[in-house]
Amino acid sequence: MSNVAADAARMPTAMITGASRGLGAAIARALAPTHTLFLAGRPSPQLDAVADEFGATTWPVDFGDLDAIETAVEPIVELDVLIHNAGVAYPGRVAESSVDEWRATLQVNVLGVVALTLPLLPALRAAGGQVVFVNSGSGINASPGLAAYSASKFALRGFADSLRNDEPSLRVTSVHPGRIATEMQEDLVAYEGREYTASDYLSPETVAHVIADAVNAPRDAHIHEVIVRPR
């Protein structure tokens, strides 16, 4: 960890979840010039490849094992930015959904977020840091065919608002993108029985740019919410 500590002294630090591909990897690319990156997630060759590309450090965080998260992040004593990007979606209307799908969705999209945020609060407070929640348009208006996902994103928005109220030394930002051209989107379009065309949706790089702008906003600016939609 000595190299991590040395790097952190030169640049602000940012932890990103779900950075092995898609939007998470794009966020890492957008912040790499300005931040020392900690990529949190289940160990995988894909996550290692992103870390190698940007000279980042990986942190073994598994939302399937919430009890182990506190120990995993214990070495972090100061953190400037925490970006909650990891998420899952199981397409299905209410009557089509199962309790297991609801449990798995809430485990990653809500409980995992809480389990990672709580032990990092002292490090975030020490830096006067920022927490960014990658939410969704489904966290404002429930999306047809995404019952469990929409409910989880409403809960995530509630947690973000509570964190903002309870931790006045932190900046807390919820980002609500429209549909993004990712693997998750391909699965949703397939469920809807439509043809997937990436150009119909926001690119991961566009959303990552918006997030980086919120992170790099002047210190006296507290951006509570960002809503971005495809043109």
* Ramachandran assignment for 221, one of left (phi > 0), alpha (psi -120 to 50 degrees), beta (any other): beta
Which of the four CATH numbers 3.40.47.10, 3.40.50.300, 3.40.50.720, 3.90.180.10 does domain 2-228 have?
3.40.50.720
**CA-CA distance, 182 to 190, in Å (whole number)?**
13
- Going by pLDDT thresholds of 50, 70 and 90, the confidence category of residue 101 is very high
- Going by pLDDT thresholds of 50, 70 and 90, the confidence category of residue 194 is confident
Q: What is the pLDDT of residue 192?
A: 75
Longest dimension (CA), the chain: 53
Active site residue 149: yes
- Given a contact cutoff of 8 angstroms between Cβ atoms, the answer to whether 136 and 177 are in contact is yes
Angle between helices 45-54 and 22-31 (to 10 degrees): 20
- Going by pLDDT thresholds of 50, 70 and 90, the confidence category of residue 9 is low
The first and second tokens of residue 94, run together, are 């209410």
> 2 pLDDT exceeds 50?
no
Tens-digit pLDDT profile for residues 154-163: 999 999 999 9
State the catalytic residue, choosing from 149, 191, 196, 201: 149
Tens-digit pLDDT profile for residues 46-81: 999 999 999 999 999 999 999 999 999 999 999 999
The one-letter code for the residue type at 69 is: I
